[in-house]
Structure 1
Amino acid sequence: MMRKNERKGAGWLIFFYSVPSRPVSNRMKVWRRLNKAGAIQLKGAVYILPFNDEHYELLQWLVSGIAEMGGEAAFVRVAEMDTIKDAEIIDLFIRQRAADYALTGKALDDVERRLGSIQKGARAQHIKGISAQFSRLRRDFDEIRKIDFFSSREGAAIDGRIRRLNSELKVLFGTGSGREKQAALEPKNAGDYKGKTWVTRKRPFIDRMASAWLIRRFIDKDAAFGFVDEKEPRGKKKDSVAFDVRGGEFTHVGDMCTFEVLVRSFGYKDKALKKIAEIVHDLDTKDDKYKSAEAKGLEDILIGIRKTATDDGDALERGMQVFEMLFASKG
């Protein structure tokens, strides 16, 4: 099955180039860029990619870069090719990704063997080493999935194995089980929280930024926010709601961060929200429960916001914008 941005009828991008034979590193640079983008070599220095805006822009940059190397490059968009059918081109992509997934499968075999030895009584301190190996493997897998334009069966099979291993690692770390128990939360109705001022701690960061975004995006588009010191005494006020503060109405419960508590309390089931909740959890609790590949990059951006914001309100608003874009990317 093809993805939306590589849907049937979108066409293809054919790229061809030549660079001077010296230095050899220039040819390798071009090859690496094309390989990382998922391009398939048709013959010689002729490559093909499914058409989308991202691929089009990449090839524009490659043409410029090759010109600076003293070489020549060009690309064309075609609806179809005369000498090869679309189905045959798609099969070329699937076979290339199958080769990539085969390497991932071998790495998974090793992780499964190591995990089996621990489950049979090997030293427990080896679990962290296996977890680190698994995290690297999953990052590599995520990179392959990005260029698996036609959603190969091999990718789905590897994804299933990775999910099973992830569940087993959670059990060993004590962060999950076959049926992970979650704290009971009282269901909430968004209509009861309109027109409120949502109060949280000063110097907002990951969990508070994400929670504020969720509040304004799903609970009350006109929500106002206020900030208090952690030690400042607070009585429950009719027109305000405290979140991510000690004793607040919405705060950490069990191993759940505030964002997760809000999602569950209001019963939101959106898949993009679930993914964001996993990222926020890993960043806020530091337990690497979900091993989110996007976590570090998001954290760096939010640190930059915190350092450059004029005040807490500015930091919160800019953080919410980041989560809005993250939500759009996951939708």
Structure 2
Amino acid sequence: MDKLSDKTKVKEDMAWLLFFYTVPSKPVSSRMRIWRRLAKTGAIAIKDAVYILPYNDEHYELLQWLVSEITAMKGDAGFVKVSKIETMKNEELVEFFNRQRESDFRGIQTSISEMEQKINSVKKDSASNHLNKLSERFKKTAREFEEIRKIDFFGSRAGSGLQKRLGLIEKRLKKSSDVLFKDAPVTVRRIEDYQGKAWFTRKKPFVDRMASAWLIKRFIDNNAVFKFTDESVAGAADKKSVFFDMRGGEFTHAGSLCTFEAIISSFGIKDPAAQKIAEIVHELDVKDNLYENPDSSGVEEILNGIRKTAKSDEEMLKKGMEVFEMLYISKGGGDAL
């Protein structure tokens, strides 16, 4: 029996949900659909058609919906919340879950081992092609890992170890990519030199301009005033005006960096939540497959909705900035502005 992960702490007041059901033998697809739903949530069978999950509000609600779904297919289902199972200690139940997750992680482990070997064998004359392929495989493996990690309720040792190995692979891929595809140099700026400015950008703002305006207001110039202009006047700045995300502007794309990333680099912003947002903005604006963040498509849909409904550029920018502020808070950023 595997030992508990060092991170796992079994609480005395732990609670569990026991789910039991029967469905008609036909159609078989109904039975398989319920089985897949339970497996996806991380539930484990402890007896025939009896499944267990650690108690939380999300699992409780999920089982309520499953009961309704099974009843609709003329089956029978129910669940109970219990504080313990007489024949198994909580520690044994946690180990039970960890062993199942270790089994789930085996395919990920194989993929990681193969990637580690391939990184070590990449040759200089074909590095670009190999790195692109490895990057795609890394993204796929990382997605699969995250799906399992969501149901790794007790932080299994296997999951923790694989997460560290994935992190090392990501660093090595990024380091190798940085060597091959160096970004254009970005001028270092001082925040104190950019206070109380009028920040000009192009009309019809979208992802990069919305995010950059939020970044400016949040980290650089809290009293920033945003204005819109034609791209042809970008070079005509006075001391009180700054142009961004425009050709000839002070802050714009630099090499493979989008404007948001260029501003972060220029001012040396190290905030972790802002760095996470930078990946989303890069993915949506540059579209070079460097990043693949699960939040990106949802953010893009919301911003598209703003662009279609806003009555002015000012309203469009304001609402877009609010989206990035909420995203920042959700990523562990500081208090709301």
Q: TM-score scaled by structure 2?
A: 0.81
Q: Structure 2 vs 1, CA of residues 248 and 158 (structure 1 numbering), >3 Å: closer, same or farther?
A: same
Deviation of the 1:126 alpha carbon: 4.9
The partner residue of 2:93 within 84, 89, 95 is 89
Q: Write the letter of the residue equivalent to 2:178.
A: G
Q: Is the 2:186–2:262 Cα contact (8 Å) retained in structure 1? A: no
Q: Partner residue of 2:188?
A: 186
Q: What are the within-5 Å matches in structure 2 for residues 1-331 of structure 1?
A: 1=7, 9=13, 11-119=15-123, 125-171=129-175, 175-177=177-179, 183=185, 185-189=187-191, 193=194, 195-219=196-220, 223-331=224-332
How many pairs are equivalent? 325
Deviation of the 1:106 alpha carbon: 0.9
Q: Is the 2:45–2:51 Cα contact (8 Å) retained in structure 1? A: yes
Matches of 1:285 and 1:312, distance apart in 2: 22
Q: Is the 1:259–1:277 Cα contact (8 Å) retained in structure 2? A: yes
Secondary structure of the corresponding residue to residue 77 of structure 1: strand
Q: Structure 2 vs 1, CA of residues 238 and 301 (structure 1 numbering), >3 Å: closer, same or farther?
A: same
Matches of 2:326 and 2:17, distance apart in 1: 28
Q: Structure 2 vs 1, CA of residues 85 and 310 (structure 1 numbering), >3 Å: closer, same or farther?
A: farther
Q: Write the letter of the residue equivalent to 1:229.
A: D
Deviation of the 1:206 alpha carbon: 1.6
Matches of 2:11 and 2:309, distance apart in 1: 41
Matches of 1:185 and 1:75, distance apart in 2: 61
Q: Deviations over 1:185-216 (max 9, x none)?
A: 53533x66554443211222221122222233
Q: Structure 2 vs 1, CA of residues 75 and 218 (structure 1 numbering), >3 Å: closer, same or farther?
A: farther
Q: Is the 1:98–1:155 Cα contact (8 Å) retained in structure 2? A: yes
Secondary structure of the corresponding residue to residue 232 of structure 2: coil
Please tell me the root mean square deviation across aligned C-alpha atoms, in Å. Answer: 3.3
Matches of 1:167 and 1:229, distance apart in 2: 40
Q: Write the letter of the residue equivalent to 1:34.
A: L
Matches of 1:317 and 1:7, distance apart in 2: 46
Q: Is the 1:101–1:154 Cα contact (8 Å) retained in structure 2? A: yes
Q: Structure 2 vs 1, CA of residues 233 and 129 (structure 1 numbering), >3 Å: closer, same or farther?
A: closer
Q: Write the letter of the residue equivalent to 1:31.
A: W
Deviation of the 1:239 alpha carbon: 4.2
Matches of 2:184 and 2:150, distance apart in 1: 32
Deviation of the 1:18 alpha carbon: 2.0
Q: Structure 2 vs 1, CA of residues 264 and 125 (structure 1 numbering), >3 Å: closer, same or farther?
A: closer
Deviation of the 1:231 alpha carbon: 2.4
Matches of 2:166 and 2:65, distance apart in 1: 35
Identity level (%): 50
Q: Is the 1:200–1:226 Cα contact (8 Å) retained in structure 2? A: yes
